Structure 1
Amino acid sequence: MFKALILIDNEAVDYSLDLIEVIHRLVGDETACIYGLKINSKQNVRGLDVVIQIDTPGIQTKDSRVMTDIIEEVHQQYQFDSIIILATEFGRMVAPRLAMRLQVGLVADITDIVVDKQGRKLVRPAFSGNIMASIVCESSPIMASVHPNVFHRKPSEKEPEVIEFIPNKLKASTIEVLEVLTSDENGIDIREAEVIVSAGAGFTQPIAELQPLANQLAGAVAVSKQLVDKKKAPRKIQVGQSGKTVSPKLYLALGIYGSTQHIEGLKNVKDIISVNTDLGAPMNYLANMVVHGDAATFAEKLKNKLEGSSQNG
């Protein structure tokens, strides 16, 4: 039986449970036992076969070194065939540490899984997102990290078996959390938005000018990697392989060329409207509707049209 471990991120439980789908694709027709590792969390989880619960006071769950020690000890006892970690900022620190500790490879930011006669292939963008690489993992356990919202588990009411685990080699953390700063912004997380107004290098106006349009559409503003690299927008609203993966009902792409890196951030999007002066842009071939023209001009006219409609209504 194929045994797999998922690290449950206490701040992203739903996205962590989506990794169940990663395991299902990884094993194909084989039988799998999917474990979830929860540390100092009372949140309910469903869909797993087994939950390894650690309730030990004083564990510094923000310390990637402590987390690595815990997962290594759990693995030593259960000997997993695969360990999958959510690629949050914290997960990106834990995954490579653990891979080095276990002396195995790590396939980061996977977007797909293919199982065929050659074996289990983990697919991820390579060469700045210009190609997709299929990587066969010959070491065990198979380790991978996955962006939130890339895979989606099937609904399940299955209650897992719970196993209490007490670490024997737990070291004290040297990290002390002095203050936790939270954003005072009321914006919608682009991963949760049903409508996204997204700007690329072809959008020449300040990104802030798109917020009124997004508000009218009850949506959120996003950007491509080029605007983040140019310091015109924060990374937290970036769509793409190195940003966030989104699944809106409507994606309004304003001046976005549509590189592989960006397209990998779009999953299960219902409708795409692409506005671009370049008719040969790859984004146009994915879109349900293409508008040939300046993205900033289109956004302004659409905003004015919606404002007029609301006033007349």
Structure 2
Amino acid sequence: MFKALVLLDEEQLNYSLDLVEVASQLAGEEEVALYGLGINLSNKELKGLDYLLTIETQESLKDSRIVAGLIQQVQTTYQFDTIIILATDFGRMVAPRLAMKLEAGLVADITAIEVDEKGRKLIRPAFAGNMLASIVCDSTPIMASVHPNVFHPELLTKEPKVITFCPDGMKASTIEIIKIENQPELKDIREAKVLVSAGAGYETEIENLVPLAKQLAGLVSVSKEVVERGKAPREIQVGQSGKTVSPDLYISLGIYGSMQHVEGLKKVKHLISVNTDKGAPMNYLADLTVIGDAATFVEKLTMRLKK
């Protein structure tokens, strides 16, 4: 029996439940027992798990050190073969702390899994996204973090058995809130059916893409290079270090198509690539390629749609 634990993020439960597909693939041909661990989830209707381990507390646990300690206690009790964590901002703080406590390795931001005679292999981009690394895991627990929206299980119908886990000596958080700044809430590009996405080859202001995106009932997104130049917030970045998206239409404007960026595209139905470089890898992935200036293309398409 292959025992797998998924850490459930109460703010992103749907993406957390997608991780059951990771556990199922890691199990290979073995029978798998799927456990989910969450805070105050006993009243939530969750499907796709065999067991729901819930820790009931009056506090909202946002201290990654405390959460890592709780998972360590759960692991001591149940001895899981793998622990899988969603690679949100919070998950990225929990995962390495937990790996240190368990003296286990951690494979971050995995995009695929292979199980064969050589063992269980976790695949992730390496060398700034220029190649894929296949990492063989021969010790337990196998720890991995996964971007939201990368794995997609089939319809989840299984009702879990709820188990209340009572940790020993849970300490209060020592984190002190010094200042709170309210930022404008951006729509999540992972939910968009249409994305108008700018790369390094789009040399005008990102705001100029908003009218086109609105006409297409979509959102604006960008590549890593645009974020690094300070032209756009990381919340709208597509790629391995950004968000994984799966829109019906993806309009790529001046995006070269590095592996780091392409790994952020999953199940895109239609892709249009606009680039002055005929040899850009994104052109070969596209349904339709336009060789030309991205800014000019945006201007003309926006005018055409207005008519």
1:212 is matched with 211
Query: How many angstroms does 1:275 deviate by?
Result: 0.3
Query: How many angstroms does 1:137 deviate by?
Result: 1.1
1:311 is matched with none
Aligned-partner SS, 1:258: coil
> Which deviates more, 221-230 or 168-177?
168-177
Segments of structure 2 that go 5 or more residues without pairing to the other structure are: none
1:242 is matched with 241
Q: How many residues align structurally?
A: 306
Alignment of structure 1 residues 192-203 onto 2, 5 Å: 192-203=191-202
CA RMSD of aligned residues (A): 1.2
Query: How many angstroms does 1:139 deviate by?
Result: 1.8
Residues 198 and 251, structure 1, Cα contact 8 Å, conserved in 2: yes
2:95 is matched with 95
Aligned-partner SS, 2:52: strand
Q: TM-score, normalised by structure 1?
A: 0.95
1:50 is matched with 51
1:85-116: CA deviations, max 9, x gaps?
A: 00000000000000010001000000000111
1:225 is matched with 224
Alignment of structure 1 residues 1-313 onto 2, 5 Å: 1-41=1-41, 42-58=43-59, 60-177=60-177, 183-185=183-185, 187-308=186-307
In structure 2, give the amino acid aligned to 1:48: L
Query: How many angstroms does 1:183 deviate by?
Result: 4.1
Residues 240 and 261, structure 1, Cα contact 8 Å, conserved in 2: yes
Counting aligned pairs with the same residue, the percent is: 62
Residues 254 and 274, structure 1, Cα contact 8 Å, conserved in 2: yes
In structure 2, give the amino acid aligned to 1:172: A
- Whole-Å separation in 2 of the counterparts to 1:264 and 1:53: 33
In structure 1, give the amino acid aligned to 2:74: V
- Whole-Å separation in 1 of the counterparts to 2:247 and 2:289: 18
- Whole-Å separation in 1 of the counterparts to 2:112 and 2:196: 26
- Whole-Å separation in 2 of the counterparts to 1:78 and 1:165: 11
- Whole-Å separation in 2 of the counterparts to 1:179 and 1:147: 29
Cα separation, partners in 2 of 1:89 and 1:291, compared to 1, 3 Å: same
Aligned-partner SS, 1:191: helix
Aligned-partner SS, 1:184: coil
- Whole-Å separation in 2 of the counterparts to 1:248 and 1:232: 23
Query: How many angstroms does 1:188 deviate by?
Result: 2.9
Aligned-partner SS, 2:47: coil
Cα separation, partners in 2 of 1:291 and 1:228, compared to 1, 3 Å: same
- Whole-Å separation in 1 of the counterparts to 2:197 and 2:44: 34
- Whole-Å separation in 2 of the counterparts to 1:252 and 1:122: 30
Residues 56 and 166, structure 1, Cα contact 8 Å, conserved in 2: no
1:164-204: CA deviations, max 9, x gaps?
A: 1111131121024577655434x531100000000000001
Cα separation, partners in 2 of 1:180 and 1:50, compared to 1, 3 Å: farther
1:98-142: CA deviations, max 9, x gaps?
A: 001000100000000011111110000000000000000122100
- Whole-Å separation in 2 of the counterparts to 1:105 and 1:253: 36
